Amino acid sequence: MHRERPVNINLSPARFHWPVTAMASILHRVTGAVLFVAIALLLYVLQMATASEEGFAQAQALLGTTLPKLLLWGTLALVIYHLVAGIKHLLLDFHIGDA
């Protein structure tokens, strides 16, 4: 029996590096899941704002603070990344840009 074969693989970041395409694919899936929740919350705020004048005032007060503004900018960044990565995946499905 050959004893020099590796018994377990060291997957620490110092020894193992994920390919950039693998990281982009994983991040694309994660942003899709996060956007699913974020867009549901944004639709709830939109429904609250369009239901009545009191709801509009509540939505305006909610979105007037710093944290929700940062979350909106973050959601916009996720949408842009998800769109660009999705277009990249579609192009690769048609073998455009394959190496």
pLDDT at residue number 76 = 95
Q: Which two three-digit tokens encode residue 42?
A: 């944004």
Spell out the domains of the chain, with CATH numbers in brackets: 21-93 (1.20.1300.10)
pLDDT 10s digits, 44-96: 999 999 999 999 999 999 999 999 999 999 999 999 999 999 999 899 889 99
Is-contact 24 88, C-beta < 8 A? yes
pLDDT at residue number 98 = 80
Is-contact 49 60, C-beta < 8 A? yes
Q: Which two three-digit tokens encode residue 71?
A: 């979350």
pLDDT at residue number 2 = 64
* pTM (two decimals): 0.73
